[in-house]
Amino acid sequence: MDIDVTFFMQLGLITAVILVLRPLLATPLMRVMDERHQQTHGARAEVRRMERLTALDKEAYQTRLSKARHEIHKRREQQRQTGRDKAKAIEAAARKESLQTVLVQRAKVAEAQKTALRAIGEKTPQRARLLAGKLLGREVRS
């Protein structure tokens, strides 16, 4: 293997090209690649952070939603119970009123019955004589 001057000239040219191109081309290219890498990993980290925040927000939302549903259910049950209590009170009042009406009507019927029986009792002897007279064909006296 012969090493001559051309080898050293080529080695010098390659070294010169590397020394010249490295600051002009390689360093900016590496910087751009590093920035892209940082942006990509930074974006991924941001995505992970946002996913964690979203999960926490969703959990808080579910908790608030669950509490709200529980509160609504509790209020609904309270309103139902209030309605049942009112219905029972109205029903009891209606029963009491109808019972009093029935008692008053029974008293009126009993009084009317007494009056009717008295009237019948007073007119019975007259009607019996009249009927007997019609059956016998003559006037009946007591």
pLDDT tens-digit map of 4-29: 888 889 999 999 988 888 888 888 88
pTM: 0.45
Q: pLDDT digit string (tens) for 110-122?
A: 999 999 888 888 8
Strand segments (E) across 36-85: none
Burial of 117 (0-12, 13-18, 19+ CB in 10 A): exposed
